[in-house]
Structure 1
Amino acid sequence: MGVRFIAGVFHLPTAVLYGSLSFFLSVLHNVFLLYYVDTFVSVYKIDKLSFWVGETIFLIWNSLNDPLFGWLSDHVFLSAKQSSIEISTPEVVLKRLRALSRNGPLFALSFLAFWVSWAHPGLQFLICLCLYDSFLTMVDLNHNALLADLAVSADERTRLNFHCSLFSAIGSLSVFASYTVWNKEDFFSFRIFCVILAAISALGFTVSTWLLRQRFRTGTNTASDQEILKELYVEESSASPEKKITLLEYLRQLSRHRNFLWFVCMNLVQVFHCHFNSNFFPLFLEHLLSDRISVSTGSFLLGISYIAPHLNNMYFLSLCRKYGVYTVVRWLFIIKLLLSLFMLLAGPERIYLLCIFIASNRVFTEGTCKLLNLVITDLVDEDFVLNRRKQAASALMFGMVALVTKPGQTFAPLIGTWLLCVYTGYDIFQRDALNNISAEPQMDSSPFLTVTLRQGCFYLLVFIPITCALLQLFAWSHFTLHGKRLITVKAYRQAQNEIPPDIKTI
């Protein structure tokens, strides 16, 4: 039985092994997002100044480390001599897998550093956040870059992304399990729970990357694979000299990459909207629904918002196979606009519609974010063709996209709280804790503040998606990497030989 199981593991499809990496990432990251702030504020009693200093430094590092790590990972590909690369072995894929095998377990260890007090809260907060985000970035960049390196065809990339969504949804179940052990007064059970999660994640990264590396090492001697690997390269005249590309030159090339510029404009708005929904989800539940729905219904809405985007994304990916990513994303923007306009006309008193809208708004917005990785892989292909690269710089492209779009994470709470304060006069940062936010209206003898705050939350809920959808539709209408242009770009990458669309059997 044991032998049969081991044999089955060795014959798992590449897409399953690739997708499983999403499980080992999400099983930790969702727990981190839910509890790290509450742990430092309520358990370790971090002071406000240390918290904001740590968050500010983290926001700067969070934006800069993506392009930095992407450049360190891929700059060698931009100036490598064609003749020095042994294209009979998938060096690019093996390089990504080696990075994942190292950084995956370190990512799990950095996750554990949050749940035990080992330094002054302010110092521990800063060190833990920067360490965790560094390893998270390395894992994310290399995992996303593999999506572009493992396959060129849109069909195979959507299949890989489908497995990522499936395993991410399974990994999100750790959020539900964490509720049973979360206790601020007795932290021991939660710590044991986190140790178990980290062990599963570290072991999973080690085993999955080892299996994938064995597959690529042993499977590259066949003539078929030697041909397949040539799709990673564009032949140039042997007389053309090698040109070393600096970071400044690469940035100049990106500044001339029209579709990249329109995409990051659209994606900046998307990142803003995703984090706005996450930041203000509890606020909307509190002021729009808390007196109209039960606690269990509110918990269900919160829980489903973590799992449903991954499940929903699997359906979106099936549509992408049929109609293309560009068309599906455009229709998602249109649906977001129409639903928001409909909710605006319906008003805040339609409770069931409001519940559906609050949940669906986050689910559809998060679902769109998951599809955009496919668009970035297409941009990798176009960058490869436009600049006649010897090797596609996948991780660097993902890093540059993150550099431009991650400020949306900061804009979301700043703009949202500013708009709420302008409309209602209510400053959320004057409260000691977000959980007590509903206390302020009750302290006022007049119901006017309650009504005004409720109305302000409703307008914030509907006008932000309307504005985001209009801006995104405008930017997306200028994005031309679809249809015949996309087919031409992919054909050029595969033009060296008559080859299958994938580097390995997906």
Structure 2
Amino acid sequence: MRLHAPEAEAGPAAMGLGGPRAWLLGLPTAVVYGSLALFISVLHNVFLLYYVDTFVSVYKINKAAFWVGETVFLLWNSLNDPLFGWLSDRQFLSSQPCLCEEELLVGSKEVGSITLGQYLRQLARHRNFLWFVGMDLVQVFHCHFNSNFFPLFLEHLLSDHISLSTGSFLLGISYVAPHLNNLYFLPLCRRWGVYAVVRGLFLLKLGLSLLMLLAGPDRLGLLCLFIASNRVFTEGTCKLLTLVVTDLVDEDLVLNHRKQAASALLFGMVALVTKPGQTFAPLLGTWLLCFYTGHDLFQQPPLAPVGSAQPWPEPPAPPPAQAPTLRQGCFYLLVLVPIICALLQLFTWSQFTLHGRRLHMVKAQRQNLSRAQTLDVKMV
């Protein structure tokens, strides 16, 4: 009896620990997945918002160190997604539309399987994929540009005219509103299609930016609205583009007659081409600001030692009499970047044909291939 006494005493404690664990295990999958996505998004967005300002203004690192860090981040951030996508989907890549007897006989050997090089050549002929990643590269750049320079815009454009609480409110709205927008955008996508909704968001971005450019930096109410809406609609567009990638996965399967969709690898290849935009955003933004206003965020001395290595050619500072103020430079950076991005995206998006009748045709062929594969497996 004494041997069982400790177990009896530990029983209530174990039950106390098991209660929350059982409750967590009993949660719906959607709640668990959504909570995980929320926490990851919070960490990701806080990092994006403050890391440029922290390293430049607080730690005061030099420009070369910043560029080296961004380059290392660029390499790993671009390569890890296609690497894990290839490891995940390589057994599914096949040029055969269905299982055949020879494949069943060889067992682990994959007849008709293709190499990564062959897959890349197939992807290079995928016209809609190429136009999409060109558009998405600009979109990723713009999203991260807004995140990286949001504190700078608030500080130099609005800090003298709004309270700290108002700035915090604008910051919070810029992160929450894109998620709320999806509740409205998704019904629009069902009714009009993702292509039309995304194109409308590009036109809206262009129109608001032109309006802000004409109004000037002294319209504070309009400026507050533009800073918040520019980030909200840009982030909302990013969240819709995942739907387009899923359509590209279906088109890739139909065009190349795969046994199974290589979805992880295609998502990884999209990331390979578009994630460099995350690195280009802070680098190009700081360089443009220095080029236009002569204000170097890295606070380096104007004269560098002869023969010193520069990761980017040092832009010549404008003459003092003609140099725009930092506030003017921030304003033009705020409005001209969305205008240029919108024009590039409208052009590339106009070349994208996977919508309307073609999209319906691809979806129908995708379903037919799935039925054929199911019947072949049953017959074997």
Task: Identify the TM-score tier after normalising by the shorter chain.
Answer: 0.7 to 0.9
Query: Alpha carbons of 1:288 and 1:41: their partners in 2 closer, same or farther (altered >3 Å)?
Result: closer
1:479 aligns with 2:352: yes
Which of 93, 99, 115 matches 1:78?
A: 93
Cα deviations across residues 361-391 of structure 1 (Å, max 9, x unaligned)?
0110011001001100110010011001111
Please identify, of 272-281 and 363-372, the stretch whose mean Cα deviation from structure 2 is larger: 272-281
Cα deviations across residues 8-62 of structure 1 (Å, max 9, x unaligned)?
97584x655543442243244344445667888899x696576654443222111
Residue 457 of structure 1 deviates from its aligned partner by 1.5
| Structure 2 partner of 1:262 | 131
Which of 358, 380, 390 matches 2:259?
A: 390
| Structure 1 partner of 2:330 | 457
| Structure 2 partner of 1:321 | 190
Query: Alpha carbons of 1:382 and 1:425: their partners in 2 closer, same or farther (altered >3 Å)?
Result: same
| Structure 1 partner of 2:158 | 289
Query: Alpha carbons of 1:298 and 1:379: their partners in 2 closer, same or farther (altered >3 Å)?
Result: same
1:60 and 1:310 map into 2 onto residues whose CA distance is 29
Please identify, of 57-66 and 468-477, the stretch whose mean Cα deviation from structure 2 is larger: 57-66
Which of 224, 228, 233 matches 1:364?
A: 233
* Structure-to-structure mapping, 1:155-166, within 5 angstroms: none
* Structure-to-structure mapping, 1:76-475, within 5 angstroms: 76-79=91-94, 235=98, 242-430=111-299, 452-475=325-348
1:38 and 1:458 map into 2 onto residues whose CA distance is 18
1:411 and 1:238 map into 2 onto residues whose CA distance is 50
1:392 and 1:477 map into 2 onto residues whose CA distance is 26
Cα deviations across residues 217-274 of structure 1 (Å, max 9, x unaligned)?
xxxxxxxxxxxxxxxxx54665799212111100000000000000000001101111
Aligned length, in residue pairs: 328
| Structure 1 partner of 2:34 | 19
1:387 and 1:471 map into 2 onto residues whose CA distance is 29
Query: Alpha carbons of 1:35 and 1:427: their partners in 2 closer, same or farther (altered >3 Å)?
Result: closer
1:476 and 1:404 map into 2 onto residues whose CA distance is 16
Residue 6 of structure 1 deviates from its aligned partner by 6.7
Query: Alpha carbons of 1:488 and 1:10: their partners in 2 closer, same or farther (altered >3 Å)?
Result: farther
2:166 and 2:72 map into 1 onto residues whose CA distance is 37
* Residue aligned with 1:320, SS: helix
Query: Alpha carbons of 1:298 and 1:476: their partners in 2 closer, same or farther (altered >3 Å)?
Result: same
1:280 and 1:65 map into 2 onto residues whose CA distance is 26
Cα deviations across residues 99-130 of structure 1 (Å, max 9, x unaligned)?
xxxxxxxxxxxxxxxxxxxxxxxxxxxxxxxx
* Residue aligned with 1:69, SS: helix
Letter in 2 for 1:477: S
2:24 and 2:156 map into 1 onto residues whose CA distance is 52
Which of 64, 74, 85 matches 1:59?
A: 74
Cα deviations across residues 68-92 of structure 1 (Å, max 9, x unaligned)?
1111111111149x9xxxxxxxxxx
1:272 and 1:33 map into 2 onto residues whose CA distance is 12
Letter in 2 for 1:73: S
Letter in 1 for 2:198: V
Cα deviations across residues 414-440 of structure 1 (Å, max 9, x unaligned)?
2222222222122222269xxxxxxxx
1:431 and 1:281 map into 2 onto residues whose CA distance is 23
Query: Alpha carbons of 1:371 and 1:387: their partners in 2 closer, same or farther (altered >3 Å)?
Result: same
| Structure 2 partner of 1:185 | none
1:54 and 1:381 map into 2 onto residues whose CA distance is 37
* Residue aligned with 1:366, SS: helix
Letter in 1 for 2:119: Y
2:164 and 2:101 map into 1 onto residues whose CA distance is 69
1:346 and 1:35 map into 2 onto residues whose CA distance is 29
Identity across the alignment (%): 74
Q: Please, which runs of 5 or more residues in structure 2 have no aligned partner?
A: 1-17, 104-109, 302-319, 373-380
Residue 494 of structure 1 deviates from its aligned partner by 1.5
1:296 and 1:345 map into 2 onto residues whose CA distance is 28
Letter in 2 for 1:246: T
2:61 and 2:351 map into 1 onto residues whose CA distance is 47
Residue 452 of structure 1 deviates from its aligned partner by 2.4
2:234 and 2:44 map into 1 onto residues whose CA distance is 19
2:69 and 2:265 map into 1 onto residues whose CA distance is 27
Please identify, of 414-423 and 457-466, the stretch whose mean Cα deviation from structure 2 is larger: 414-423
